[in-house]
Amino acid sequence: MVGIILATHGEFAEGILQSGSMIFGEQENVQAITLHPSDSPESLKERMLAAIATFDDQNEVLFLVDLWGGTPFNQANNLCGEHPNWAIVAGLNLPMLIEAYSSRFSMETAKEIAVAILESAKEGIKATVEAPAASTTATQQTNTIPEGTVLGDGKMKIVLARVDSRLLHGQVATAWTKSTNPNRIIVVSDSVSKDELRKKLIEEAAPPGVKANVVPIKKIIEVSRDPRFGNTKALLLFENPQDVLRTIEGGVDIDTLN
């Protein structure tokens, strides 16, 4: 039977595990892993592995996580890179979990179940009111701005420069973004800019109303000198202090580093 790891920020995993048991009955080979503010990504990963070690079949494991791009997702994704049979589904809700329990009776692989539960998870999101129709004029965007155009005062504003090996994760996407109010999150890394999977994950993890980009160091130096970015309020994320130093030496004006 496919093992299931429920991994979330806070006690959500424990709560939804209990709710699932009330509806579908107690389940074997299911473990809840919670991320607390004091936890490190490494300790979370170790607890995931310890939980998986209790499963009858450790070759087929399905991770159900709360937030795409959050720390639980990132650590599960690291493990899946080492175990090609394992799979992840983000956006955990109760219909998803119930469908996963049911699918284990007829499906033998984590990837099969991952595909099968998506529709139930989406169908479980409903509202008693209809969303207003989107305005076409509000969604129109200028695709290109001519070179040499000056927007604002012609100088990009850096609202926060932060070193974080996890880059764009749950805390950055919520607390830091809320406190600094950027309109763009820029991950500055030569290595990550060459990794298409990590780039996609980072871009999709951006909070509503904020764009996320991954650029090499050379590019952020060019952007800092481009007057077309005068209206940009940027939150810069670096993997290590060495990349910050190279960025500053290239002429990017970073006064304070978190």
Active-site residue (options: 2, 3, 9, 69): 9
The span from the CA of 18 to the CA of 1, in Å, is 20
Is 9 an annotated catalytic residue? yes
169 is catalytic: yes
Q: Which among 45, 47, 104, 169 is annotated as catalytic? A: 169
CB distance 114 to 104 below 8 Å: no
User: How far is 192 from 179, CA to CA, in rounded Å?
Assistant: 26
Say if CB 254 and CB 236 are below 8 A apart.
yes
Residue 55: both structure tokens together: 């499963």
| Residue keyed to tokens 């049979």 | 85
The rounded Cα 19 to chain-centroid distance in angstroms is 25
CA distance 40 to 250: 32
User: In whole angstroms, what is the distance from residue 202 CA to residue 168 CA?
Assistant: 6
120: which 2 tokens?
């139930």
The number of beta carbons lying within 10 Å of the beta carbon of residue 90 is: 21
Active site positions, annotated: 9, 169
